Copies of this chain bind each other. A is one copy, B any other.
């Protein structure tokens, strides 16, 4: 907790010093971990983020770009000259360089590649050819590998020579004549064994995946086998790269968030950092499915009950309850799920809660207005039999009200839970939906009563 407070203090000082001189800013950022800087810079206006970035030395710039989400990295890379970008690129591992160059425009990327030496440029081009969500796109090609029978002493000498490039490596692969991995030796093993013994004596079975394997599958393998490094092999089985456990961590966290958010229909990840309109656009397609389903349900009820020969205006009102509670439930659970994940991954700390509450509720209002208008329009056309023009309008207005209220609930309930120490995930689902069902139905009936003067 005191670490938390220290970080919060640093963040506030940073915001203050943005108003002051460059020197004060430079002194301050030097004390902050670059991973934290990358996180905070996401909340700054673009110009301020650039001022912070400009005050950093080359190594820190590289690290900030390594830790930052693509949106921020993209902004920063756009402002760098090819020469500045080249300086940064030189200190980063190949896989990070490829990710960065993908964010730059094609011309800049070409200029940067022209600056670096031919062999590295070729390696970078090869790496860039793999789809980003595959093992090939995730791996780094800076690998230490030795043939069978190599003595520990010689292996260590090789690491000394090539170590600059592979300074983030944690071991080496033992290869057969066809460069196929047959063993893995960790640096710790190298350190604890005699330099006269051979790698064969201590190597463990290596685990590898193909270049085209999905990155989530690769990360799952690392977790399943408890590895520090996973080999990546080409179609012939020859080693071409490695994926480390901390690369896997990022992938698993990202993919888990993606799965959760897809299930509730709120992709892509990091919704709280997106502009409100983008959030609305991302969630609309699945609300469309819900509207269509709700209208179909209303039609089924109409069919079933009309056949029975009885009919009353109340039935018409009730036929649309499923669409109201369906939409409200969706939007509520989207907001609450986004917050549960954002709490778990550190995306929303207490200082961002107010802005997230405001923007999520606004997103809910917009979704409600769009879905309410769509329902109004469809019902007006398909069900002229419902009589008064006020009826479809009342349904539309009730949908808008219920959905906005659900978004508000979907934020307030998890935030309240976190404050009093209840696990937000437990109440984010069925509990929230139940409240939103009850309140949505009540709101719908109240709005309908008022508008239909019944």
Contact = CB atoms under 8 A, between A and B. Distances in A.
B252 A159 contact: no
Interface in A381-408: none
A64 B108 CA distance: 51
Contact of A228 (B35, B170, B190): B170
B313 A315 contact: no
Nearest to A249: B223
Given A256-B260, A438-B296, A430 B191 contact: no
Interface string A406-427: 0000000000000000010110
A294 interface: yes
A346 B189 CA distance: 30
Interface stretch (A13-21, A123-131, A337-345): A337-345
B191 A159 contact: yes
B434 A290 contact: yes
A87 interface: no
**Quick one: which of A189, A258, A265, A318 has the most chain B CB within 10 A?**
A318
A33 B293 CA distance: 48
A236 to B, nearest CB: 13
Contacts of A156: 191
Contacts of A250: 223, 226
Contacts of A255: 344
Interface stretch (A76-84, A112-120, A300-308): A300-308
Nearest to A317: B305
B168 A253 contact: no
Nearest to A39: B224
Nearest to A226: B246
A311 B314 contact: yes
**Quick one: which of A3, A186, A222, A437 has the most chain B CB within 10 A?**
A437
18 contacts: A33-B205, A67-B224, A67-B226, A164-B192, A166-B188, A224-B346, A248-B249, A256-B256, A258-B425, A262-B426, A290-B433, A293-B438, A296-B438, A301-B441, A304-B445, A310-B314, A312-B312, A322-B322
